[in-house]
Structure 1
């Protein structure tokens, strides 16, 4: 029996009991994992514009660390020819391209071991508001990556997506009630039980609950679109001063909770406001390029998108942020430069990713250094 078999069979000890925990994203990485977009009912024009955006993100992160891009077999040659040779392209079938949510949550151990949490995945709500069907290939991704890396895999029945959680690496986790307490995720679990499981599988000690995620976020309010840790005791928060915009009340509510909170080490949090782009909506030409299928979420002209500059990726030497709105791009870039003085901030045109329902953080998953 190999290590993966042992990890799969283990039911008595949790990762936290064994000394594992989830590092912060700003801690050193060994690699970044991504997937390749192709489904025509989510990405317009056969995903060609989205593929170009994914290539730009992968190029930027590859300055900083190894990048793996998983592709379906029928897209392997296309992806290999578009991506630089230093980026590793592997056959890894998926239903769509959101590695943050369908990929593993990596854990590390003080003795140098790497492991992962294999959450349950139901495509952001299953048959009760989920975004597509089926999601069978997505559910196998974590097991495949565990076998590629030869690491322990801790299986949990808790439905959690990677974008629903942010940690500081020092015992604190931030999430939203809108997502993890949604009846389409874990209807049989109360809040205290979900907290217990998060602590047991991620090695955290304190959970800060924000009520809601960004306005009309189709993931049911993922925290990574609203708020994230940028350093121990410091968070970035999506913000708008326009009190007529629905996002204003959401961000103001979150600000009050964050400023009143302390982390697992007893520190008060410093909150850095990042301006909200837009509001941004889907254009007629953008909606018309998407196939309409009953098994996936429709893209309608005029629909507001949950655009956020908080949805960036922190690499070893770069921070890759979305370029979304000329009115706010430069301001957001400057704020991130101040927050990450030791990293180069790279802005990537990301509207094509946003049109698919997420952004740069949503399509990436860091593998921590051990």
Structure 2
């Protein structure tokens, strides 16, 4: 048997943490960022043209300090190549939609300089029990294709999980929500302790902080990346609402109580930085009318509230790319983030078109860490 092939198979069947791999924090150095190109007409209005312009702005901001790969279906390759600058790499990578955070790999690194990935199972945020579209067959193949392109090992995890459901500090701590990871439409047979063990085995984390639930009306069943994230070891950003009439008022206070009542894997108390909640923001009549309406996809109706959050930003090598969503709060949120990342430039990108699709900047990006 070929020795290299034998080693590859061993890596793919042994949990990565047992081999010394772990998931770095997003604020650690990157080699690249991966994105996908929007085109799905029941997610993105007017043939996705407004969303494509927003994706181009996000890609350009990130590409100032790291390589950006944009995966594109064949029928959109020429259009994407025309819209994206030459230094952004456009590759044919078929998908059902454009949420790379959730359908792409979770990268892990080794102290000896190796890069690998975790391949979670994906069921479109709930499968036939509340999932957002059907089918999701192309999405399920993305991780295997990226592993082939990069020539790296792929650890196939035994659970349904999306990248937006977790954040790590790179020092042994992971933050997530019970609403998502313990949802019956993901892994109904697993207990909280069993799921924590999977996270330890595949990401190398020692402590899991469980927040009760994610943002109000979040289509992903409460992804943590829309509510709370690590900005440094021992420090988190949390979406915050002061309106007692708003359902987010109770949600963010539940999260704050957990965060202030625990410590990270190193025993440090957590410092919480509150980011004001934009809006509330709702889908306008003309925005809903530009969508195709299909029985197999999640409905988007006029007046529906969107799960808007400034926490849904991307930490690039030299920048923080944040969504601009509400003129009443954009500058305040930007100033808070600049204070947390004094060595990076905070770049605001108009992101309502991404929000209309059900997520935001963090949801459409996936960092490839520098080993």
Deviation (angstroms), 1:14: 1.3
1:1-370 alignment runs, 5 A limit: 6-8=7-9, 10=11, 13-370=14-371
Cα deviation, residue 285, structure 1: 0.1
Cα offset, 1:188, TM superposition: 1.1
Q: Residues 188, 5 of structure 1: CA spacing in aligned structure 2 closer, same or farther, 3 A cutoff?
A: farther
Whether contact under 8 Å (2:107, 2:118) holds in the other structure is: yes
- Aligned pairs, number: 370
**CA–CA distance in structure 2, aligned partners of residues 64 and 241 of structure 1:** 36
Gaps of 5+ in 2: none
Extract unaligned runs of 5+ from structure 1.
none
Report the more deviating stretch, 298-307 or 5-14. Answer: 5-14
Which range moved further: 62-71 or 12-21? Answer: 12-21
Structure 1 residues 9 and 131, CA, compared in 2 at 3 Å: closer, same or farther?
A: farther
Distance 1:177 1:79, change over 3 A: same
SS in structure 1 of the partner of residue 18 of structure 2: coil
- Which range moves more in the overlay, 286-295 or 3-12? 3-12
The alignment's TM-score, normalised by the length of structure 1, stands at 0.98
- Mapped to 2, the partners of 1:125 and 1:290 lie a distance apart of 22
Structure-1 separation of matches of 2:3 and 2:59: 32
After the TM superposition, list the runs of 4 or more consecutive aligned residues in structure 1 that deviate by more than 2 angstroms: 1-13
Return the offset for 1:243.
Answer: 1.1
Counterpart CA distance in 2 for 1:152 and 1:201 is 13
| Native 8 Å contact 1:36 1:71 kept in 2 | yes
Kindly indicate whether the alpha-carbon contact (under 8 Å) linking 1:29 and 1:368 is maintained by their aligned counterparts in 2.
yes
Distance 2:60 2:117 in 1: 25
* Change in CA separation of 1:4 and 1:249 when aligned onto 2, cut-off 3 Å: farther
Deviations 1:249-299 (A, max 9, x none): 000010010011100000000000000000000000000000000110011
Alpha-carbon RMSD? 1.1
Contact 1:16–1:202 at 8 Å: present in 2 too?
yes
CA contact (8 A) 2:12 2:153 kept: no
Q: How far does residue 5 in structure 1 lie from its aligned partner after superposition?
A: 7.5
The DSSP-based 3-state class of the residue aligned with 1:16 is helix
